Structure 1
Amino acid sequence: MTRRGPCRSFAISVIQIITIICQVLTEEPRFAEPIPNVTVALGRDASLPCVVEHLGTYKVAWIHIDRQMILTIHRHVITRLARFSVSHDNAMTWLLHVSQVQQEDRGYYMCQVNTNPMISQVGYLQVVVPPNILDEESTQSAVAVRENQNISLVCKADGFPAPKIMWRREDGQPISVDRRKKVTVYEGDTLSLQRISRTEMGAYLCIATNAVPPSVSKRIIVDVEFSPMIWVPNQLVGAPAGTDVTVDCHTEAHPRAISYWVYDNVMVLPTKKYAINTEENSYRAHMKLTVRNLQTGDFGNYRCISKNSLGETEGSIRLYEIPMPSTSPKATEMKSNGNKESVRRVNVSRSVPRAEPGAGTERPSVVRAQLDRAPDREAVYRQPHPQHVSGSKRIHCWRQPFLAIIVLVQVDLIV
């Protein structure tokens, strides 16, 4: 068995080390990892890495393939675009920097090493753009249309990726599509409203989204125009004299209508006699007229009138008087003083006449007595208020066919 000496072993080790060093020095550059695809929003900064092993004395260059433009070579910037720069981490990574990215920066970027033959790899820079509504290609912010006509709302937007357009109503009400169905959200850049009605009036929102924040929207006001309409809840209203009464009308109109009240062909104005109130809600209005301290001249026909640029209409309310309630008739006995004793039944009723303007709180009461055997004969007695107390009252009556006088009558009245 041959025995190796220490000199021989050392010589082999030195040779191996030299061989390894030579292999390292002569090994060609290669890419350690691929260039990743980078996505960046418009206006932001981006960086593309290129990792090269065993670069040695070779150079690294960056090229924008889409524009066929050399950007950098090694540590030097070639392009005149100041937004591009390059950095090296003193190891294997070469970084291409793009500041304030623009849409034209989108595309393929090549990292190239000047070996023979040349080696290279490619990465993609994706520039996303948030949506932007194109006002010049979209419907203006306010449009008007006559009721029962058709109208189309258009909303155009750009961005990358291409935005999706959605429509909805600002008040949350559904959108009528082709008059056959209703949807809360409608997709598409054109919204067609067929035979539009007044209930579809209002603000419509066009919303553009493409997963790149922020989403944007446009508000379009749709005015549906129509001539006034009036309906009257109560066309016949009754009230006693001396009281207050309120009559009302409901109107719908757009554009906004001029509404007022007329009595006896004269416009009613707010005074101590009349109180006028109108409650408005969108194209609807509720007109109220209060007449205070009703008198004889206040009863009759009141008209509510509404007019706008498209037409005029009116409603009518008849205000009539309700008589004050009377006590139920009472019967009593009357005894004559003629040749022959007789007892007759007398029907007695009491009514309270209306107070005259400016009169005091006391009102005279009228008592009517009707003989049951002679309905065409009547005795009337006017009794002043100071005697308005419960008890027996004395009534003097005269009967035309008889000379006898009814001297005393006992009548029970309840006031």
Structure 2
Amino acid sequence: MPYFVYFKIYNARGLRTPTISHITQEQIRDIGGQVDLDCSVHYAQDYPVLWWVERNLYEYTESLQLSRDRQLNTFIVLPYAKKQMKYDRQKTTEALPLSSNSGLIIRDSRFSMRFDAASATYTLSIKDIQETDAGWYQCQVLLSVSNKITAEVELQVRRPPVISDNSTRSLVASEGESAQMECYAGGFPPPKISWRRENNAILPTGGSIYRGNILKLNSVHKEDRGTYYCVAENGVGKGARRNINLEVEFAPVVTVPRPRLGQALQYDMDLECHVEAYPPPAISWLKDEVQLSNNQHYRISHFATADEFTDTTLRVITIEKRQYGLFTCKAQNKLGTDEGQVQLFETIIPVCPPACGQARYSSAAPPALAAPHTALAAPHTALAAAAAALAALAAAR
């Protein structure tokens, strides 16, 4: 006849060893929500039962992905460099006691405890959940000073994205070099990162949107400079955005809008060059390889229309015969030099502007210049005479 033998395990005090038969599975909640965490314990009438919470000392973002090794009691962090690093769990979290048996230890009206004797279940309730409530909640049965039984449940709190401080804020690169902008964000669920340019301009990588934490440019051009947007979204809130300014250093490019200009003697004339460069260049004007400066014959002015654009003007004052010829505007920065040339030649009739309203003729000015004014007056006299004749004819009738 078969028979069965039953064994009961007792501790040194002759009592059954407590066990945790059930604990709530992972919970995900919104800010302001409510959650109940259950822990069912058997044979623990004579032992303290506690709830603890372990909260992160810093927030893990997409740049620092976290996995947990329960056996080694460590966190394994996998950064984008693909190099594993292990951090002692005690150094990355803080542990706080919340309750003992059916009573609260923490003084926070959002927390409450209840005990159901029938199921031997200790329930920790949290209302008006905050971001800081996220963490690992641990149910403990203390057997001795050095021995305890534990079970854990993770509470995740949905949080809107926040751009991390280790993301790129601004970047300066020289033309032809490679450059990369990085963007990371905290939040739950883990945010997705995308890149755009101002006014939805085409990205150097192609297309108007790029997805990923790192936007890499293999060879930057001056056309790539401007504002880039890092956008983090996870479906919670409106998302987050950071503006990243990319400055591209490049050698000067000089353009001359009017390479040939004419003006009469004793009048002023403005010679112009447009300069595009970054960093801002040193600009100079030369004639016959001699650098010019401000004096009674010349006046130089620079007007910056943007960080990379400068308009430079050389005014030749009261032109003399020796001042006609070839002028050079030269721009130079640490990346290179460029120049443009303007030819100033003599004319008989003054050019306006900048000669408008000027009266710089000397007493020896050629009288022929006054003739056009006399000729222009003649038609007005003839018209007046014709009008008078018509009026007289009408009166006679």
TM-score (norm 2): 0.55
Pairing partner for 2:34 from 17, 35, 46: 46
Q: In structure 2, give the amino acid aligned to 1:40.
A: D
Match of 2:274 in 1: 250
Structure-2 change in CA distance of 1:301 and 1:64 (3 Å): same
Tell me the CA shift for residue 246 of structure 1: 2.5
1:122-141 equivalences under 5 Å are 126-136=156-166, 138-139=167-168, 141=169
Structure-2 change in CA distance of 1:362 and 1:320 (3 Å): closer
Asked if 1:85 corresponds to 2:107, the answer is: no
Segments of 5+ residues of structure 1 without an aligned counterpart are 1-33, 51-61, 89-93, 110-122, 326-355, 367-384, 391-415
Pairing partner for 1:322 from 347, 362, 366: 347
Match of 1:152 in 2: 180
Asked if 1:230 corresponds to 2:254, the answer is: yes
Tell me the CA shift for residue 81 of structure 1: 3.2
Tell me the CA shift for residue 142 of structure 1: 2.6
What SS does the aligned partner of 1:175 have?
coil
Whichever of the two has the greater Rg, that structure is 1
* Preserved CA contact (<8 Å) 1:72 1:85: no
Structure-2 change in CA distance of 1:250 and 1:212 (3 Å): same
Asked if 1:165 corresponds to 2:193, the answer is: yes
The size of the alignment, in residue pairs, is: 271
Asked if 1:304 corresponds to 2:307, the answer is: no
Asked if 1:215 corresponds to 2:235, the answer is: no
* Preserved CA contact (<8 Å) 1:72 1:86: no
Distance in 2 of aligned mates of 1:287 and 1:247: 8
Tell me the CA shift for residue 210 of structure 1: 1.4
Distance in 2 of aligned mates of 1:151 and 1:389: 70
Asked if 1:96 corresponds to 2:111, the answer is: no
Higher relative CO (Cα under 8 Å, sequence separation at least 6) belongs to 2
Q: In structure 2, give the amino acid aligned to 1:127.
A: V
What SS does the aligned partner of 2:305 have?
strand
Distance in 1 of aligned mates of 2:278 and 2:98: 65
Tell me the CA shift for residue 155 of structure 1: 1.4
- The Cα RMSD (Å) is 4.4
Distance in 1 of aligned mates of 2:278 and 2:348: 42
Tell me the CA shift for residue 300 of structure 1: 1.2
1:151-201 residue CA offsets vs partner (Å, 9 max, x unmatched): 121112222111111112245422121xxx3x2222110101132110111
Q: In structure 2, give the amino acid aligned to 1:216.
A: A
Structure-2 change in CA distance of 1:362 and 1:292 (3 Å): same
Distance in 1 of aligned mates of 2:256 and 2:342: 8
Asked if 1:201 corresponds to 2:225, the answer is: yes
Segments of 5+ residues of structure 2 without an aligned counterpart are 1-23, 39-48, 55-96, 115-122, 140-152, 351-358, 376-397
1:303-382 equivalences under 5 Å are 303-323=328-348, 359-360=362-363, 363-364=366-367
Distance in 2 of aligned mates of 1:214 and 1:82: 34
* Preserved CA contact (<8 Å) 1:202 1:223: yes
* Preserved CA contact (<8 Å) 2:50 2:101: no
Match of 1:19 in 2: none
* Preserved CA contact (<8 Å) 2:162 2:186: yes
Distance in 2 of aligned mates of 1:323 and 1:128: 80
Structure-2 change in CA distance of 1:72 and 1:291 (3 Å): same
Tell me the CA shift for residue 306 of structure 1: 0.7
Pairing partner for 1:174 from 202, 222, 228: 202
TM-score (norm 1): 0.53
What SS does the aligned partner of 2:258 have?
coil
Structure-2 change in CA distance of 1:319 and 1:101 (3 Å): closer
Identity of aligned residues (%): 24
What SS does the aligned partner of 1:135 have?
coil
